Chains A and B, each alone.
Chain A
Amino acid sequence: MKKPKASFVIPCYNAVDTLAETVNSCLNQSEPRIEIIVVDDGSTENMNYLYGHFCGMDERVRIEYIGRNVGRSAARNWGIASATSDVIFTLDSDDIALPHRVSDTLNYMKKNPTVDIVSTGFQIATGLGKIEGYIKAEQFDFNMVKRTGMTHIGHSTMAFKKSVFDKVKYTEGDYCKHGIDDWKFQVDAHKAGFKFGCIDKNLAIYRFVQKQRDEVAIKKLKDECLCA
C-alpha cells in the first residue's frame, strides 16, 4: 500500500455514542489516501462492535490498543508515533472533520512550505449535532497568548508536520487532566521555533459539551508554562 498523505490520530476512551460519526467523517474525506488511527485508551465499555465494523469495512482504519487507561496526551503521543505519513491531523473522538479538511490543509501546506502547524475555522454544535456558531481561524500570536491565555486554535482543526513531533510531544499529567494539553502543545511548538499558519475556511465541527473546569488550576498551569 502506498504511503498515506495524512494520518488522523483519534484518542478514544468509551466514546460509544460519538466515535462512529467521527470515523465516518474521516472516511468521507475528499482525499482518499489517508490512514485513520484510533487509539483505544483502555476503554471499559465494549468498543469492539465499532472497531470491528470500521476495520472490517475499510483498511485505512486501524486500532492501536494501549491496554490500560493512560490519558489523552499519552494516547495521542502513542498514535502519532505509529503514524506512517508526514502530516498528522488531530481529531477528538466526538468531533467531525468536514470533507475537505485534509485536501485543503495539504494544499495550503504545499503553497506555504515554511508553515509547520495549520489550524482552520470551525463550527460549534450541540450534543445532537445542531450547529450553534462559527469560529473563524486566527493566526497564532504568542503575545496575544501571553495577554489573554488563549491560543484561539480549535484543536480538532489542527494539522502538523510529523517533524514537529520529533521535538514536541503532548504533556501528560496535570495539563492533560485539566484538558489543556492541546494548548500546551501549541505553546511548546512555538517555543521550539515552529511556524503557524491558518486557513480561513470551515473545515471541522466541534461538539460542545458543558464541562466543569477548575479555572484556578488552569490559570496556574498556563502561567507556569508561559513564564518558563
Chain B
Amino acid sequence: MRYSFVVPIHKKSLETLKDCLNSLVEQTYEDIEVICSFDGADPVLESYVDSLVEKDKRVKKVVGEHGGACKARNAGFKAITGDVVSFWDSDCYAAPGMVYVWDLFFKEDSELDFVYSDYAFTNQEIPGREAPPRIDRWLMTKYNDLCSMWPIRKEKVVKWDETLGGMQDWAFWREIVSNGAKGKYNKGFAFTTEFPDPTSISGQYSKNAERVKAIRAKFNDPELDVLVYGNAYSEMAKRIAKYVDGDFFYMWPDLYKTHDYKLEIACGFHGSDIPLLGGLFADTPSKKVIYWMGMDAEEFYSGPFNIVSEIVPKMKEKIHFHFCVDKTSQDTLKKLGIEAEIVIPPRDRGEFNVPLPEKFKVFCYHDEGYEQLIDSIIKAMPDIEFDKLKTGVHYNLSNYSLILQFTADQRLQDGTRNAIMLGRQVISNVKEPYAGYEDITQEVSAFKKSVIERIRAFQVDNSPNLKAREYYAGLTDPDGFKGKIKLIMAPVMEVI
C-alpha cells in the first residue's frame, strides 16, 4: 500500500521545510511519495525541493499560481499515485514510525477509511492535542477534532474548499465523515508541529467566529438554542448536547460563538477554568446552568478563600440553575449558599441492556485503607474470580456480575452507578438506593462473614438486579432530562 503526502508550500523558512520533508522521506515505511505542491513560485524553496527530487524518486514537485493552501492541496492531489493520502503541513515533523503504524491499521481493517491520533507542539510547555476516542457525524457538525494531516483512502477524499478563509480542514473532514467514512483512533503523538504563528491563518484567533459562521453557512446549520460545554467531562457534555439537540464545545466558546444561545450548560466546574469564565458571568439574556460533576463542589469549596468569596456572589447573581449528581455535592454547595438540584446525568436506556456474564465474576473497587479487608475476603473465596481496579487499566463492567465498592468517600462512583444500570449487583458502604449497603466499621469477622454470605447468594441466584436498573433508568431517562431543560428555557423563550 502506498502512502502519498501532499505538502502545500508557501512562505516557510528553509530550515522548517527541510526538517518537515526529512521527517517524511526518512519514514521507516518505504512505499511513500511526497508531492511538494507550491502555492505560488518560490525560487529558494523550489531549488531545495529540486535537489531532493534528484536524490529521491519518491519526491515530486508541482508548482501552481498562488491561491491559498486549499488550491495547492487540490493541485497536489491530482498528482498522487498512492492508495492513501495525507495532506501534510510544511511545519509538521512526523515520528519516524508514523506511516508504519498507519499501515498496521489499514491492513488490519480493509473497511477502515482514515486513522487519527494525537499530536504535540515543538514547544513542550504547551500541552499536546489529544483527540477523542470516537468521532461521528454529529460531533463533526459541532467541533473539529481532526487536523488535515490524518491519512485517508484516496477514494474518500473530497475537494478542499478554496473559498474558505480558514478552518478548511474542518469543512474537509466534516464532509468526509458525513459521507460515511469510518475512522479509528490510534492513541499517541504521531507528529509535532510549530505552534501557529500569529500571522498564519490558524494563528489569527480573532477571525475564528467569522470562520465558524462561514462553515455553518456552507453546511446550512440551523441556529440552535442550547449550548453545552465542558472540557473535564467532555464525553458527558457531548451526550447531553445530543439529547437536548444543542451545540457542543470543549471550553467556553468566546472565540467560536456565532450567535447568542438561549441556554448555556457548563458540564463540570473547575477552578482552573476560572480565568476563562468571562462568558459564564457575561451579561447576556441566556439562561445559565452549572452542572456540578464528580468532586467539583468539594474542590471548589476548598479552594483559596479569596477566589471562592469573589465567585460565589457572581454565581448567585448570574447563574440561574445549579445541578449536581449526588447528595454530598448538594450538601457542600448548600454550605456556600448555593441551592443545587440532584440530577443524575441522563443516559440512554439502550446502552445498558447487556446480559449478565455467564461466569460469575466480581469487580472490587476500594480505597487503599480497605485493601487488607478486601484481600482477606478474596483469599477466603478461592473458587471465585475477582478483579481489582488497577490504575491505567480499562475494565468493562458489563463483564462482571457483582461490584464491591468500599471507599472512604461514601458516594457511588460513576462506574458503580453504571454497573447498577447494567443490572449488576453491588455491595458497598454507600447509603444510597440499591447500593447494597454493608457496614464496613463492624467487627472484621462479622463483616467478612456477612459479605461472603451475600456474595454466595448472588452467585447462586445469578440474576440481574432489575429493580435497581428500573430505578436508575427512571432517573436517567433522557426524555425526562429534555423536559427539565424545556421547562428551564420556557421563560426565556417568552422574553425573546
A residues adjacent to B (C-beta < 8 A)? 16-21, 24, 45-46, 49-50, 52-53, 126-130, 209
Contact = CB atoms under 8 A, between A and B. Distances in A.
A53 B373 contact: no
A52 B383 contact: yes
Contacts of A19: 380
Interface stretch (B4-12, B66-74, B303-311, B443-451): B443-451
B391 interface: no
Contacts of A129: 372, 376
B380 A16 contact: yes
Given A21-B379, A127-B445, 12 more contacts: A17-B452, A19-B380, A20-B379, A20-B382, A24-B379, A24-B382, A50-B381, A50-B383, A53-B382, A127-B444, A127-B448, A129-B376
Nearest to A18: B380
B460 to A, nearest CB: 8
Contact of A49 (B372, B383, B448): B383
The secondary-structure label for the interface of chain A is: loop
Nearest to A127: B444
B189 to A, nearest CB: 45
A24 B379 CA distance: 9
Contacts of B452: 16-17
B454 to A, nearest CB: 11
Interface of B: 372-373, 376-377, 379-384, 443-445, 448-449, 452-453, 456, 459
Contact of B380 (A20, A46, A126): A20
Contacts of A53: 382-383
A127 B443 CA distance: 9
Contacts of B377: 17
Contacts of B382: 20, 24, 50, 53
B444 A46 contact: no
Most buried by A among B373, B383, B453: B383
Contacts of B380: 16-21
Contacts of A21: 376, 379-380
B89 to A, nearest CB: 59
A63 to B, nearest CB: 14
A131 B381 CA distance: 22
Contacts of A18: 380
A2 B443 CA distance: 44
Contacts of A126: 444
Contact of A209 (B372, B445, B449, B456): B445
A129 B41 CA distance: 79
A128 B383 contact: no
A130 B372 contact: yes
A126 B372 CA distance: 11
B372 A17 contact: no
A198 to B, nearest CB: 30
A27 to B, nearest CB: 10
B445 A49 contact: no
A24 B373 CA distance: 18
B383 A17 contact: no
B449 A17 contact: yes
B456 A128 contact: no
A17 to B, nearest CB: 4
Contacts of B383: 49-50, 52-53
Given A45-B453, A128-B373, A129-B376, A20 B444 contact: no
B449 A128 contact: no
Nearest to B382: A20
Nearest to A207: B445
A20 B448 CA distance: 13
A109 B376 CA distance: 34
Contact of B448 (A17, A45, A130): A17
Nearest to A126: B444
A126 B453 CA distance: 22
Q: Ordered nearest first, which 6 A-B pairs have the shortest CB separation?
A: A53-B383, A127-B444, A17-B448, A128-B372, A20-B380, A20-B382
B456 A46 contact: yes
B422 to A, nearest CB: 25
B266 to A, nearest CB: 45
A50 B380 CA distance: 9
A126 B382 CA distance: 21
A127 B446 CA distance: 11
A167 to B, nearest CB: 36
A84 B449 CA distance: 33
26 contacts: A16-B380, A16-B452, A16-B453, A16-B456, A17-B376, A17-B448, A17-B449, A17-B452, A20-B379, A20-B381, A21-B376, A21-B380, A24-B379, A24-B382, A49-B381, A49-B384, A49-B456, A49-B459, A52-B383, A53-B383, A127-B444, A127-B448, A128-B373, A128-B376, A128-B444, A130-B372
